Structure 1
Amino acid sequence: MKGSRNSLTSLRIFLVAARTLNFSMTGELMHLTQSAVSKHVAALEKHLGTPLFERTSNGLKLSHAGMRYRDHIQQAIRLIDEADILVSNPSSRIALNIAVSPSFAQSCLIPALKDFFSSHPEVKVNIRPRLPKEDRSTERFDAEIQLNTGHARGMSATYLCGREMALVVAPELIADSPPRLPEDLDHMVLLKRAQPGYGWEEWKSAMAPGWAGPSPSSPEYEGFSILLPAVLNGLGAAIFPLCLVKDHLQSGRLVRPFGESVSGRYGYYLLEPRPQSPNPYIAALCNWIREYSKSLNTAPEQR
């Protein structure tokens, strides 16, 4: 392999081995013997002059050079595959894979995607609902949109929306006795989100430091995608990022009794792997997301 470019076959074998960390399993997936896989990897390592894998008591792991090589080769192989598809089948669409917080996907991204497709009909976007702490060791996405504080290892983070939060409730729940002060909430069911961020403690430190807050036994809901239907159906009041409930406030399905906007630590961020992909379609989608997010940060009009 010296003096020539690494063969596509060897590079594809390396990528599978980097994912499985098992040469026997790689051979099964590539319909090769373990010995053949080892020879392809050894040829790559000889050409590069550095080991791509390290053997430990627990099995194989990628070396630092192997991780860097994987990230770059993965992007290069994908571009080659996309070029093959576009030339051999001009009517095909480029597929992008993004991991998105379920609540953001449901309330913000999906309702607006038609605008992106009108400008890029050649692109297909596969949306995978994922939470920030879910295991990504067997998955790799072109981009992610997650609740975050702006720090993600190995990724660049662009703030989109969500730092501004407020107490929201269905109007029929307070029609007879609208709360004027935080203390008036003691007579209401107050719902909690069972994940970090947008907690009652953060809200009341800005709005009512002396108020006791919700009872420890208040109902908890796992994520905004479940909490939002509960609030819309009058099961109680809760704290939400304004960008998630903007449409519901404008339609009158939800109201902000105090009309407040409290700044919090968390927000929705666009996360892009480093190094960034040279893929123009990924760049187009990420640029569209950044531009679209500006509309999510405008103050919602409440009926």
Structure 2
Amino acid sequence: MRDALPPLTSLSAFEAAARYCSFTQAGSELNLSQSAVSRQIKRLEADLGRLLFERHYEGLRLTPAGEQYFRVVQGLLRELRDETARLRRRGDDRQLTLASSPTIASIWLARQLPDFQRAYPDIEIRILTVEDPRRLDLAEFDLGIYYRVPNEVDPPGLLADAIFEHEMVSAVCSPIYLERHGKVIDAKQLLTSHNLMVVEDHYHDWLTWETWYRELDLDWQAPLHTLRANSFQLLMNATLAGQGVTLGWMRLLSAELDQGNLVQALPYTLPSKGSLSLLTPEHRHLTDPMRAFRHWVLSTS
């Protein structure tokens, strides 16, 4: 039947490919291969009898028909996601979905939730971990907890309330590391004789080791020994296991510091540009669990 709708999988692949102008990036978002996305687009173009993309050596470009179809498909998929999320929430109005980075979820949020659940035992918690808040689908969660840098890391469609108004950043390591490698004598020796944990992630580039040194008026040079990863959670776990020194947000890591699992490697602290924040989707009707958690986390932290 010519009036039948195309498969949802083809429409989703088209919407993502048009948004990124890339089959590869669309596949990454949808957990599909580049070739699978390409097949879905070809199938959709054959069904419509129109080309949706122009293939150039520089990349993809939407045709005029593709631009118009993209606007329609994107709007419909957004409405479908929002309504699906609303129906799911109505079906279980005691569930609260919290989005957070893996590091914040494991190091801070997991330690705070028992207190919340004792205060609100009827609310069922679901945690969604996404490293970069800019990749969040607003329909998939109720509230988010992320470090936010105003005007730098500002996810669209979200309102932010600071959980920590003031936060300091210091060089931290585990006592195990100091036992194995000796005390960090000064900032210069840290760069020449110790192992620095380095996050290779554009979202965390707003505070690097170099920035930390220069903001504190300490002499900077490229460190001689590093462990690099694109996951702050992985590096934090390695730090706790005694593999090196990392930049640590002191209030976020307060439990680890209080319990002696982490210690300051140097006495310097730098005020953080970012603050741990509660993110609320704009124009979202606040459910009772959302109101309860907002009140609890903003008044107790």
- The TM-score with structure 2 as length reference comes to 0.66
Q: In structure 2, how many angstroms separate the alpha carbons of the residues matched to 1:99 and 1:199? A: 24
- Superposed displacement of residue 221, structure 1: 2.4
Query: Which SS does the other structure have where 2:264 is aligned?
Result: coil
Cα gap change, 1:74/1:208 in structure 2, threshold over 3 Å: closer, same or farther? same
Structure 2 distance, partners of 1:239, 1:256, is: 10
Q: For residues 260-300 of structure 1, what are the alpha-carbon distances to aligned partners after superposition, in whole Å with 9 as ceiling and x for unaligned? A: 321132232211001142312211012212223x2xxxxxx
> Would the alpha carbon gap of residues 278 and 170 (structure 1) be closer, same or farther in structure 2, given more than 3 Å must change?
closer
Match of 2:95 in 1: 95
Aligned positions, number: 233
CA, structure 1 residues 214+230, in 2 after alignment: closer, same or farther (shift >3 Å)? Answer: same
**Matched residue, 1:113:** 113
Look up the match of 2:173.
169
Q: Distance in 2 between matches of 1:81 and 1:229?
A: 38
Task: Give 2:130's aligned amino acid.
Answer: R
* Correspondences of 1:70-81 after superposition (within 5 Å): 77=87, 80-81=90-91
**Match for residue 212 of structure 2?**
203
RMSD: 3.4
Tell me the SS of whatever aligns to 1:156.
Answer: strand
Aligned residue type for 2:157: G
Q: Which residue of 1 aligns with 2:227?
A: 219
1:130 aligns with 2:130: yes
Q: Which residue of 2 aligns with 1:60?
A: 72
Aligned partners of 1:21 and 1:60 also within 8 Å: no
The change in CA–CA distance for 1:284 and 1:155 in structure 2 (over 3 A counts) is: same
Distance in 2 between the 1:60 and 1:67 partners? Answer: 9
**Contact 1:101 1:147 (C-alpha < 8 Å) held by counterparts:** no
DSSP-derived class of the 1:56 partner: helix
Say if 1:187 and 1:121 are closer, same or farther in 2 by CA, change over 3 A. same
Decide which moves more: 112-121 or 136-145.
Answer: 136-145
Q: Which residue of 2 aligns with 1:187?
A: 193
Separation (CA, whole Å) in 1 of partners of 2:144 and 2:71: 30
TM-score (norm 1): 0.65
Please state if 1:282 is matched with 2:300: no
Separation (CA, whole Å) in 1 of partners of 2:90 and 2:196: 53
Q: Does 1:265 align with 2:273?
A: yes
| Contact kept in structure 2, 1:198 and 1:240, CA below 8 Å | no
State the Cα deviation string for residues 58-110 of structure 1 (Å, max 9, x = none).
473355xx799779867865665457xxxxxxxxxx11112111111111111
Question: Residue 259 of structure 1: SS of its match in structure 2?
Answer: strand
Instruction: Name the SS for the 2:159 alignment partner.
Output: strand
SS in 2 for 1:278: coil
- Tell me, yes or no, if the aligned pair for 2:95 and 2:289 is still in contact at 8 Å: no
Q: Describe the SS at the equivalent of 1:144.
A: strand
- 3-state SS of the aligned residue for 2:144? strand
Give the structure with higher Rg (CA). 1
